[in-house]
A and B are shown apart, each in its own frame.
Chain A
């Protein structure tokens, strides 16, 4: 029974099986509650609302929205809108809340007119309509997408006081369905000299990135579906490239052309933007796979704690190298750690949900999470990530996040 168990790590963290064992006592309480005299709340005294063609969240959840939304000066569609991670559970991001990052707004594409053209170093340049692509054998996988600039606020000299989503919400996960890119490339026939593919979108920026042929033939897809429905316009309708586990910018939305070439194009976004300048003046190009990472989504800033007692510490972990093997949680600022329980669907290159039981004694505490992936990579500390970086170099940040729980129950961002 729950009260027999004692914490396994400092400051009240329980074993990862805590909630499982507590289950029996919980259901007994539920049964006795049902035996109380019948009473009807207002919504049980008359039939409810009719069916509708498209569902909306409860009006009480209206605050669960992408935020903040920021665009470059003088523009409305060149910037980012972030997933409110602290208000969500599980691993699938509702499509309406998937993060957005665009470079020239969201194009209004007529799907009948749109074509995907594969050309360059191929035997047969080919053009595909949406209708044609819909006839191919599809695959679908539940996987994360993360913007290269996610968590970039964490390089600030003083911790930025903002919600978990505002800092880390440029990551989301969906079921992505579509045609394996390898099938289309095989049909076009890549010439032996073809080593890179320049993917470009049908947005006003004709967004372009260079993708190694190796990745394109491995697990890349031309995605037509997100969470079971056709892509949303903000996620590339009617078709996008999806490169599992790699930096989000490469998964070019509104995919229009794929040009097979013998060298990278060194596009604006792969040189000027998503490259990593080091303190010695040397910059690293093409950091493609997302590093192993985790963050506690609850408790987190803005989610005030109530009275002292047992709380669920919950969050997400992910890695571009494959599956999450382990997540550890600390409630004493990193002095001691306990393994968190992982929700059972642990998928490759997907968000994995972790949970720990924590008895908060009401006094100030610093909580952290640390992920390890199946390749053995361990999430680094903030200091380790920043080591050797140039000042202001914020891309590809995957450091451990610490939250401070105050005696007043307020949660703040701290560097531990």
Chain B
């Protein structure tokens, strides 16, 4: 008995060594290694703590032009009254009978704005703006909402530090284990 158990344990241990981790035997393990350069080309994720923000920077002063050329047609002059979502206004309206949810009045994190504009806007040509332009137009929308100054420079360091007015008014319905 003792001998058979010992043999079994040796076999089990060598299986673990062979696979390098505990993976079911029927896993064909067909995932291919992928380089960090390749990942960088596919990854748009920006976290609230700033992880994922690229180099570059921009100010609202520079962002006004980016906005006029790429966003105004759909989101309106100064971020209001366009055919698509208003990006400006509504601060203080959330507890009224007519809550108006915009970047300025509702969004908890400024990093979300950079993340979303870089991945999805301008609608008809996502990916067409440089990182500097995305920082600048982000700054411009925040400036129109009175959240940053016209010459405040947003970059990977300063953007995560921007405090959104509605930041404290969110609770989680999901409780992780």
Residues of A within 8 A of B (CB): 72-75, 78, 103-104, 117-119, 123-129, 132-133, 135-137, 183-184, 186-189, 195, 198, 200, 204-208, 212, 214, 256-257, 259, 261, 263, 265-268, 271-272, 275-277, 279-288, 390-393
Who on chain B is nearest to A213 by CB? B176
CB nearest to A287 among chain B residues: B173
**With A257-B43, A267-B116, A283-B170 in contact, do A104 and B126 touch (Cβ < 8 Å)?**
yes
A267 to B172, CA, bound (A): 14
Verify A184–B31 contact, CB threshold 8 A.
yes
List chain A residues, Cβ under 8 A from B98. 391-392
B34 pairs with A119, CB closer than 8 A: yes
Query: In B10-67, which residues have CB < 8 Å from any A CB?
Result: 21-24, 26-34, 36, 38-39, 42-49, 51
Pick the contact of B112 from A119, A206, A272 — CB < 8 Å? A272
Q: Is A127 a contact partner of B34 (Cβ separation < 8 A)?
A: yes
Q: How far is the CB of A182 from chain B (nearest CB, A)?
A: 10
CA distance A266 to B45 in the complex (A): 10
A392 near B45 (CB under 8 angstroms)? no
User: Is B94 located at the chain interface by the 8 A CB criterion?
Assistant: yes
Confirm or deny: B174 has a beta carbon within 8 angstroms of a beta carbon on chain A: yes
Contact of B33 among A75, A125, A133, A136 (CB under 8 A): A125
Q: Is the CB of B45 within 8 A of A261?
A: yes
Establish whether residues A187 and B47, one from each chain, have CB atoms under 8 Å apart when the complex forms.
no
Question: What is the bound-complex CA distance between A277 and B171, given in angstroms?
Answer: 10
Q: Is the interface of B mostly helix, strand, loop or mixed?
A: loop
A125 and B40 CA atoms in complex are apart in Å by 12
Q: Which of A73, A128, A208 contacts B119 (CB 8 A)?
A: A208
Q: Which of B99-107, B133-141, B146-154 is found at the contact surface with chain A?
A: B99-107
Show 22 residue pairs from A and B whose CB-CB distance is below 8 angstroms, ordered by the A residue. A73-B83, A74-B83, A128-B32, A132-B28, A136-B28, A187-B23, A205-B119, A206-B120, A212-B174, A263-B49, A265-B115, A266-B111, A271-B108, A272-B107, A277-B99, A281-B95, A283-B106, A284-B172, A286-B174, A288-B173, A390-B99, A391-B98
Do the beta carbons of B174 and A287 come within 8 Å of each other?
yes
From B22, B24, B47, B120, contact of A265 by CB (8 A): B47
B26, B48, B120: residue with the most chain A Cβ atoms closer than 10 Å:
B120
Q: Once the chains are docked, how many angstroms separate the CA of A287 from the CA of B174?
A: 6
Asked, given contacts A206-B120, A263-B47, A272-B101, whether A284 binds B171 with beta carbons under 8 Å apart, the answer is yes
Q: Are B177 and A214 touching (Cβ within 8 A)? A: yes
Interface contact A277-B101, CB-CB below 8 Å? yes
What is the interface of chain B, defined by CB distance below 8 A to chain A? 21-24, 26-34, 36, 38-39, 42-49, 51, 74, 83-84, 94-95, 97-99, 101, 103, 106-109, 111-112, 115-116, 119-120, 123, 126, 169-174, 176-177
Across the interface, which residues of A come within 8 angstroms of B22, CB to CB? 186
Q: Is the CB of B45 within 8 A of A198?
A: yes
Task: With CB as the reference atom, state the residue of chain B lying closest to A272.
Answer: B107
The reply to whether A268 and B115 contact each other, CB–CB distance below 8 Å, is yes
A103-B120, A271-B108 given; A128·B30 CB < 8 A: yes
**B74 CB contacts on chain A under 8 angstroms:** 73-74
Known: A187-B23, A265-B47, A281-B169. 13 other contacts (CB 8 A): A132-B32, A188-B31, A195-B176, A208-B45, A208-B119, A214-B176, A265-B46, A265-B115, A266-B111, A271-B106, A277-B106, A282-B171, A287-B174
Bound-complex Cα distance A117 to B37 (A) = 13
Q: Is the CB of B174 within 8 A of A126?
A: no
Give the shortest distance, in Å, between B24 (CB) and chain A (any CB). Answer: 7
Contacts of A103 in B (CB 8 A): 120
Contact: B21 with A123, CB < 8 Å? yes
Instruction: For the complex formed, measure the closest distance between the CB of A149 and the CB atoms of chain B, giving whole angstroms.
Output: 14
Nearest CB of A to B130, in Å: 17
Contacting pair A256 B30 (CB below 8 A): no
Which residues from A are CB-within-8-Å of B21?
A: 123, 186, 189
Q: A74-B84, A200-B45 are in contact. Are A135 and B115 (CB under 8 A)?
A: no
C-alpha gap A271/B176 in the complex (Å): 18
Q: Is the CB of B32 within 8 A of A126?
A: yes
Q: Are A104 and B120 in contact (CB under 8 A)?
A: yes
In the bound complex, what is the Cα–Cα distance between A268 and B102 (angstroms)?
A: 11
- Report the Cα distance A78→B21, complex, angstroms: 43
Closest to B34 in A: A127
- Note all chain B residues with C-beta closer than 8 A to A207: 120
A228→B83 CA distance, assembly (Å):
41
Q: Nearest A residue to B95 by beta-carbon distance? A: A281
Inter-chain contacts of A281 with B (CB < 8 A) = 94-95, 169
Contacts of A282 in B (CB 8 A): 169-171
B174 pairs with A266, CB closer than 8 A: no
- CB-CB under 8 A from B176, the residues of chain A are 195, 212, 214
**Which residues of chain B are within 8 angstroms of A212 by Cβ–Cβ distance?**
174, 176
Known contacts A74-B84, A186-B24, A186-B27: A266-B48 contact under CB 8 Å: yes
Q: Is the CB of A117 within 8 A of B27?
A: no
Q: Is the CB of B171 within 8 A of A285?
A: yes
- Smallest CB separation, A212 vs chain B (Å): 6
6 A-B pairs with least C-beta separation: A126-B31, A286-B174, A73-B83, A132-B30, A206-B119, A268-B116
Chain A residues whose CB sits within 8 angstroms of the CB of B43 once the complex forms: 119, 257, 259
B122 CB to nearest A CB, Å:
11
Q: Known contacts being A186-B23, A257-B43, is A75 close to B31, with CB within 8 Å?
A: no
Other-chain contact of A208, B24, B44, B126 (Cβ < 8 Å): B44
Q: Are B42 and A257 in contact (CB under 8 A)?
A: yes
